[in-house]
Amino acid sequence: MVAPAARKSRQARVVWGDRVVTVGGDAPVRIQSMTNTDTVDVIETAIQVKELAQAGSEMVRITVNTPEAAAAVPYVREQLDRMGENVPLVGDFHYNGHRLLTEFPDCAKALSKYRINPGNVGKGDKKDKQFGQMIEAAMQYDKAVRIGVNWGSLDQELLAELMDENNRRAVPWDGRQVMYEALITSAISSAQRAEEMGLNGDQIILSCKVSGVQDLVAVYRGLSARCDYALHLGLTEAGMGTKGTVASAAALSILLQDGIGDTIRVSLTPQPGEARTQEVVVASEILQAMGMRSFVPSVTACPGCGRTTSTTFQELARDIDQHLRSQMPVWRVKYPGVEKMKVAVMGCIVNGPGESKHADIGISLPGNGESPAAPVFIDGEKAMTLRGDRIAQEFHDIVQAYVER
Ligand code: SF4
């Protein structure tokens, strides 16, 4: 699979100890996520950060909204370090970030990146000063920043200015275009201000988040054409379940295919009982489906139809998929490259052998009216035919042996 050519962006470095996560430039598109714990609860927060990191999140954002949360951040970091988890932490600041970063230097040091929302760093005369205090902290402690604009908290003074300007146009833009312009202008002008203050522009990542797919595509196409900062992509509120997953996949895929986006987050609203890590799984699946990164071996399975005699092939596909995923933490280290492996589990011989030849290992279970035999292909060649009641177990063993070989 040929991955799309990326837009040339600057490269930021998000660092904790020996762990350096590069964002932009020639780095792969990074996955990030955010906790939903109260940061004051150090243990709960550290546990969730670790879960997200183990699921594949390469940076994890935590809320820093009060003095108590800022005071807790170094302890969250310490707890993670004790657990042997060095994923960089990103602090999410709104309204009082300037005070928290100034008054809690240990918090400022323990974080690896600061998320700054220019829409709520302060109003009027205070805006520049408070934004400046956050940038000062980033320079003092050598941290990356994400200037993250969000249409739910857009800089109202800037929006009013742009609306006035629009009213003076011979042919005024429609309201949406003014909104897009406000988002883009807020992000880029804030980044330029930060650079004027002395922050290295390479360490700036921009985002302009909205919650509609077409709006996101329009805003990021405009934003990417007007700057070379690394860009963080994501719908601000993708929604729940299938809707959130599909909306995120649609929006991110269009932009990633255009080569736009250096880091992504899938902001799913977890269903009751659903793991927070689901958003990381969806983000990984998007990048893997796009051919941009590989995280786990892929299992191709046909949908089944009237030719399938039972649900055996679906169960086998599910079991193989779960087995491969569960082994990855060990296999990734033991068998480098295993994440690129492709397995096909098909319901009959109509498409089974053809699909199996395109995979590293493929099996076609016997379909309705076919002889009770399951041909297995390895590296494009027919290797054997399985028969009897133990087809699933034998195929499992063949996959295991292939990985070990
Ligand atoms: Fe149906 Fe066979 Fe195609 Fe699967 S491979 S969908 S069982 S025809």
Q: Is 404 helix (H, G, I), strand (E, B) or coil?
A: helix
Per-residue pLDDT tens over the stretch 357-378: 999 999 998 888 888 889 999 9
Predicted complex ipTM: 0.98
pLDDT tens string 148-202: 999 888 888 899 999 999 999 999 999 899 999 999 999 999 999 999 999 999 9
In testing the pocket of ligand 1, which one of 300, 309, 311, 351 has its CB within 8 Å of the most ligand atoms?
A: 351
CB atoms within 10 A of CB 319: 16
Compute how many other C-beta atoms are within 10 angstroms of the C-beta atom of residue 106: 14
Residue 227, marked binder: no
- CB-based contact 124:86 (threshold 8 Å): no
CA dihedral sign of residues 110, 113, 117, 121? positive
Mean pLDDT in the chain?
93
In which element (H, E) is residue 106 found? helix 105-110
**Residue 300 alpha carbon to ligand 1 centre in Å:** 12
Rounded CA separation 273/290 (Å): 29
User: Is 107 annotated among the ligand-binding residues?
Assistant: no
C-alpha span between 14 and 20 (Å, rounded): 6
Percent of the chain with pLDDT over 70: 98
Q: What's the mean pLDDT in 216-240?
A: 94
Question: Contact, 227 vs 257, CB < 8 A?
Answer: no
Amino acid letter for position 357: K
Q: What is the pLDDT of residue 339?
A: 93
**Closest C-alpha among 49, 47, 48, 55 to residue 16:** 49
Tokens 């929604």 belong to 239
More confident call, 125 vs 89: 89
pLDDT at 5 over 80: no
pTM of full prediction above 0.90: yes
Q: If we measure between CA atoms, which residue out of 374, 259, 245, 357 comes closest to residue 312?
A: 374
* pLDDT tens string 294-353: 999 999 999 989 888 677 788 889 999 998 988 888 998 999 999 999 999 998 889 999
The runs of H, that is alpha helices, within 197-240 are 213-226
Q: What pLDDT, on a 0 to 100 scale, did the predictor assign at position 372? A: 85
Provide the CB-side half-sphere exposure for 405 (13 A, CA). Answer: 11
Q: Are 98 and 133 in contact (CB under 8 A)?
A: yes
Q: Which ligand 1 atom is at minimum distance from the Cα of 355?
A: 5
- The tokens describing 24, both together, are 């932009």
Contacts of 236 (CB under 8 A, 6+ apart): 150, 151, 152, 209, 210, 211, 267
Q: What residues line ligand 1, using a CB cutoff of 6 Å? A: 302-305, 307-308, 346-348, 350-352, 367
Q: Using one digit for the tens of pLDDT, what is the confidence trace for 81-112? A: 999 999 999 999 999 999 999 999 999 999 99
